[in-house]
Amino acid sequence: MFPIPPPVIPAPATVVGRLQIVSVGASNYIEELNRIGFLLQMFPYVAIDTEYPGTLHGAPAGPALTTAARYYAFVKANVDELPALQLGLTLCDEGGKLPEAIDDQGGSLQLAWEFNFSDFDIARGRHAPESVRFLMSQGFHFDVAREYGVPSAYFADWLAGVLARLPHWCQPPTWVAFGGAFDFAYMVKMLSGGQPLPDTPEELVARARYLLRGSVFDAKCMAEHCGRPELCGAGLRTVAAVLGVPQLHPAPPRLAGPKSHAACRIYSVMRTTLVHGGVGYAYAYEGLIDGIY
């Protein structure tokens, strides 16, 4: 394990409706990852979302490249160069139920997590200005993350240990994203110690399964191919609205924690009610990541 950094005070948890988004930084990432490891025994579905400093490289040209290969080359070029800023993480069980905590009034709050990473220095790191402006407009504070966030290497090392310690009788984790090429690419990058991504999308998916010790799904890919034309080409919020996923009020910032929660809700609906053939047929989508399969 990496040495534990000195303790710092994290930002307080954010409560939106009945959802508590736990802010995680250098002071509490070990505690929260251990809690997540315990909860995975009962809530083995893990929805993720990442935020990053935009994209700097376009898709390569060339008639020899398939659409999937071209898009993966675009993902790889950007993920290899730029660090992750945030990881949102939401757990649920077979029926879509989330873990809960008790608030000060004795009521129940659903839980999601938002890990803030300290790797990016906005004064020195390359980035896409329009992406940085958008993240700032949503309340992301680059200087706070730099000072109080957790290094992604510490996070990844501890997460790997948590996954390795899951009891053998547990259901292996099912990892979910919405439009997840960048999300799974960043998970692979962090868990691989920052090494360049594999050369092909097939290798990326295989590496993600191995490092995450489970299966991988993309709820956007499921939505695109479930026979509902109104879901084709739609974004996260639109798909959630069409599927009748309960909306959070007030509307939360469009950052990693709330987006992982929405991805979790969408996947649960897709998996249990919408995909033709039911739950068993949903596994036909395993490993199919939007844009790169």
Bond from prior residue into 253 cis (ω within 30 degrees of 0)? no
pLDDT of residue 264: 97
Tell me the CATH number of domain 12-283, given options 2.40.37.20, 3.30.420.10, 3.40.50.300, 3.40.50.970.
3.30.420.10
Residues 6+ apart with CB under 8 A from 145: 25, 85, 86, 116, 117, 118, 120
Note the pLDDT tens digit of each residue in 90-102: 999 998 999 998 8
pLDDT of residue 279: 52
Q: Which residue has the higher pLDDT, 134 or 276?
A: 134
pLDDT of residue 64: 63
Say how far apart CA 150 and CA 120 lie, in whole Å: 11
Residues β-bridged to residue 50: 87
Note the pLDDT tens digit of each residue in 184-213: 999 999 999 999 999 999 999 999 999 999
Rounded mean pLDDT, 27-53? 97
Where would I find the beta strands (DSSP E) of 76-219? 86-92, 100-102, 108-116, 174-177, 215-218
Q: Give alpha helix (H) positions in 40-148.
A: 67-81, 129-137, 142-148
Task: State the amino acid at position 284 in one-letter form.
Answer: A
pLDDT band of residue 281 (cuts 50, 70, 90) is low
Which of 140, 98, 101 is closest to 120 using CA atoms?
A: 140
Between the alpha carbon of residue 98 and those of residues 78, 101, 265, the distances in Å are: 33, 10, 10
- How much is the mean pLDDT over the chain? 89
Say how far apart CA 145 and CA 114 lie, in whole Å: 12
pLDDT of residue 7: 33
User: Residue 1 above 50 pLDDT?
Assistant: no
Where would I find the beta strands (DSSP E) of the chain? 14-16, 19-24, 45-51, 86-92, 100-102, 108-116, 174-177, 215-218
Say how far apart CA 29 and CA 210 lie, in whole Å: 23
Q: Which of 15-19, 53-57, 163-167, 265-269 has the lowest mean pLDDT?
A: 15-19
Say how far apart CA 132 and CA 50 lie, in whole Å: 14
pLDDT band of residue 63 (cuts 50, 70, 90) is low
Say how far apart CA 269 and CA 113 lie, in whole Å: 21
Q: Which of 54-58, 143-147, 171-175, 281-285 has the lowest mean pLDDT?
A: 281-285
Contact 30, 159 (CB under 8 A): no
Q: Is the dihedral of CA 278, 210, 38, 3 positive or negative?
A: negative
Which of 234, 292, 235, 25 is closest to 141 using CA atoms?
A: 25
Rounded mean pLDDT, 179-188? 98
Say how far apart CA 196 and CA 186 lie, in whole Å: 10
User: Residue 250 above 50 pLDDT?
Assistant: yes
pLDDT band of residue 2 (cuts 50, 70, 90) is very low
pLDDT of residue 106: 75
Q: Which residue has the higher pLDDT, 232 or 42?
A: 42
Rounded mean pLDDT, 210-235? 92
pLDDT band of residue 147 (cuts 50, 70, 90) is very high
Q: What are phi and psi of 31, to 5 degrees?
A: -60, -45
pLDDT of residue 117: 98
DSSP secondary-structure letter at 259? H
pLDDT of residue 13: 59
pLDDT band of residue 11 (cuts 50, 70, 90) is very low
Number of other residues whose CB lies within 10 A of the CB of residue 196: 12
Say how far apart CA 226 and CA 220 lie, in whole Å: 10
Rounded mean pLDDT, 274-290? 73
pLDDT of residue 61: 73
